[in-house]
Structure 1
Amino acid sequence: MRKLFLVLSLLTAGLVLLIFVSNIMTTLLERYLPAVQIRPDDMGKFVLRGQFQTAYQHASLTQAKNIELAASMINGLVVEPGEVFSFNRTVGPYTPERGFALGDTVIGDQVVQTYGGGVCQVAGTLHNAVLLAGLEVVERHHHTLSIPYMPPGQDAAVSISGGKDYKFRNNTNQPVLIWSGAKQGLLTVRIYGETRGPHITLHHQILATVPPPEIRKVDPALPRGAEQLVRQGVEGRTIRYWLEVETQQSKTVKELGTETYRPSPRIVIVGSGTAEQ
C-alpha cells in the first residue's frame, strides 16, 4: 500500500511538473516566436501579393523604438477571408505599459510628444501594402500636415483618443498573412496570400502646393547670431491619387480621391546670448 501511495505521489508530482514546464514553454513560444513562427519565405503555399517600404532614419531613438515595436506586433498575423483587421485593436493602446515611448505625433497643426509617436508610419506602410495586395480599405485617415516619410495620399493616421483607426478587410476567399519588419532605419510590410492578385500600381498627381512657413524661436543659451535647424519644413499639397489595376484581360483605373495637406513649418532656433557663449 505504501509503495502504491509512493508511486501515485511520484506520478502526481511528475504530472504537475509537466504541466508547469508546458505552461512556461507555451508562454515563451507565444512571446518570442510570433515573428519567426510563420515564415512566408519558408511556406510554399504563400506568395507575395503586395509590399511597401519606408525609411525612418529621420526618427528619434524613442520614435524608432515605437516603429519597431508596432511592426513586431503585426508581424505574422493571419487575416481570414471576410475578417476586418484593426490597427488600434491589434497594436494599441499606445501606453508605456505596452512598451511605447514618447515620440513626435501630428495633432492638428502641431507636432507634439505622445506615447506611441511614430506608429502612424507603420499604419501607413501597411496601408500601401494592403492597396498593392488588392485588399479592401475599410477605414483610413490622412494627416493634417505633410509628412516626410511617405508620398502624399498614401499615409495613415491612427489615434485611439482621436477616434482614428486603420482597418482593412480581407475581401478574398483565402487567408492573407502580414509580414512586417523594421531594422536599421527601414520598415517593410508585405502581404502574402495563396494566389497572386492583379498587378497594382499607386499614382498621385500634385494639384497645388503651399510653401512651408518658418518659425524662429529665440534661445539665450545659443550665441547671438547662431542658428540651429530643429525641423525641416514640408510644403503643403493638394493631391489626386489613384490605382491602376492590371490583369491578363484588362487594365482599369480606380480613383481614390483628392486630399489636402497643410504645410509643416520649418523650425529654427536663433541664438540671443553673448558672443562669448
Structure 2
Amino acid sequence: MAAKRLAGWALQPERYPEPTRVGADAAPHLVAQLVIPRRASSFGPKLERGRWHNLGLAATALDGVGISAASPFSFWRTVGRLSAGRGFVEGAHFEGGCIVPAVGGGVCSLSDALFDLALRSGCTILERHGHTLAVDRGPKGPRRKRVDATVKWPYVDLRFAPARGLLRLSTRSRKDGLHLALHGDAPVEAWPVEVSEPQICVEAGQRYVHTTIRRGPTTIGRDRKKLIVMPTRNCDTCQEHSCGRHRGA
C-alpha cells in the first residue's frame, strides 16, 4: 500500500501535486476558522509536550499553502513524513486501547481540524478515513459530536479541494492553542455540518458506535467505530516495565 501511494505521487502529479504557497493578498476573505485548544489531558506531561511540539512543527508546513481544484490538498504531500530526523518527537498515540509514545504522535488533531475546515468551506472531499476507535465514557456515552479524519504515512491520507477558486491555509500557534483558518479569493458561504447522535450496537459480542456526517442535505460519510474503555494510565505513569512498548523492555 505504501509503495503504491508513493508511486502515485511520482506517476500522477496531477492527482498528487506538490504543495505551493501563495501570499495572503491572493486569498483575503475568511472562509472558516477554528482552534485546537490547549487543555488538560490524560496523556501525561511528557507525551502532552511532545504532542504540542509535533502539532506546531506540522503546522508550519501548512501555513500559506494554496489549494485549488488543480492543486488539491494532501496532508502527507504537505506535511511530509513524521520522522525524528525532521525534528518530530514522541507524542501521545492511541493504540490497542493504550496511550503510547510514537514519533509524531498527536498530529491526528490536526487532520481532524483540517477535515472540519474543508467541510465547512464547501470543499470536495477527495479522500478521508475515520478513526476506528471511540471511547466509551460510561453513562455519558461516546462523544462523537465532531468530525474526525485519521492519517497514516503515506497511504491513509486526507485530501480535498475547492470546487472553484483558490483557498489559502493559515496557522498560528498561541497560548490558548493552535489557530487554523482557510481564506479564499472570493467570499464563500459557510456550510452547516452535522454529526448524528451516536447509535450503539453489538456485533459478534463487540460494541460499535455508528454516526453519520452530513453537510447540508448531503451525506459525507458513515462511520463505524469500535467502543473501548478510556485508558486510565499512559507510558509516563504506568510503570509496567514488562510491556513491549516500554523503552527499557
- Same fold at TM > 0.5: yes
Cα distance between partner residues in 2 of 1:45 and 1:168: 17
Cα distance between partner residues in 1 of 2:130 and 2:38: 18
Q: How does 1:56-135 map to 2 (within 5 A)?
A: 56-57=38-39, 58=41, 60-107=48-95, 109-135=97-123
- Deviation at residue 236 of structure 1 after TM alignment: 6.2
* Number of residue pairs aligned between Structure 1 and Structure 2: 198
Change over 3 Å in CA distance of 1:152–1:263 after alignment to 2:
farther
- Deviation at residue 50 of structure 1 after TM alignment: 1.8
Cα distance between partner residues in 1 of 2:130 and 2:179: 20
8 Å Cα contact 1:64-1:118 kept in structure 2: yes
- Confirm or deny that 1:240 pairs with 2:232: no
Which residue number in structure 1 is paired with residue 242 of structure 2?
none
Change over 3 Å in CA distance of 1:236–1:85 after alignment to 2:
same
- Confirm or deny that 1:180 pairs with 2:133: no
> Which structure shows the higher helix fraction?
1
Cα distance between partner residues in 1 of 2:73 and 2:27: 22
Which residue number in structure 2 is paired with residue 193 of structure 1?
184
Could you tell me the percent identity over the aligned residues?
A: 21
- Deviation at residue 170 of structure 1 after TM alignment: 3.2
Structure 2 residue identity aligned to 1:157:
T
- Deviation at residue 262 of structure 1 after TM alignment: 2.1
Change over 3 Å in CA distance of 1:46–1:114 after alignment to 2:
same
Instruction: Extract unaligned runs of 5+ from structure 2.
Output: 1-20, 138-142, 202-206, 239-249
8 Å Cα contact 1:52-1:126 kept in structure 2: no
SS of the residue aligned with 1:262? strand
SS of the residue aligned with 2:191? strand
8 Å Cα contact 1:67-1:182 kept in structure 2: no
Change over 3 Å in CA distance of 1:141–1:257 after alignment to 2:
closer
Of structures 1 and 2, the larger Rg is shown by 1
Change over 3 Å in CA distance of 1:264–1:55 after alignment to 2:
farther
Change over 3 Å in CA distance of 1:266–1:207 after alignment to 2:
closer
- Deviation at residue 169 of structure 1 after TM alignment: 2.0
Q: 1:138 aligned to 126, 132, 142, which one?
A: 126
Which residue number in structure 2 is paired with residue 156 of structure 1?
149
TM-score by length of 2: 0.69
Which residue number in structure 2 is paired with residue 165 of structure 1?
157
SS of the residue aligned with 1:267? coil
- Confirm or deny that 1:259 pairs with 2:223: yes
8 Å Cα contact 2:32-2:190 kept in structure 1: no
Cα distance between partner residues in 2 of 1:262 and 1:135: 28
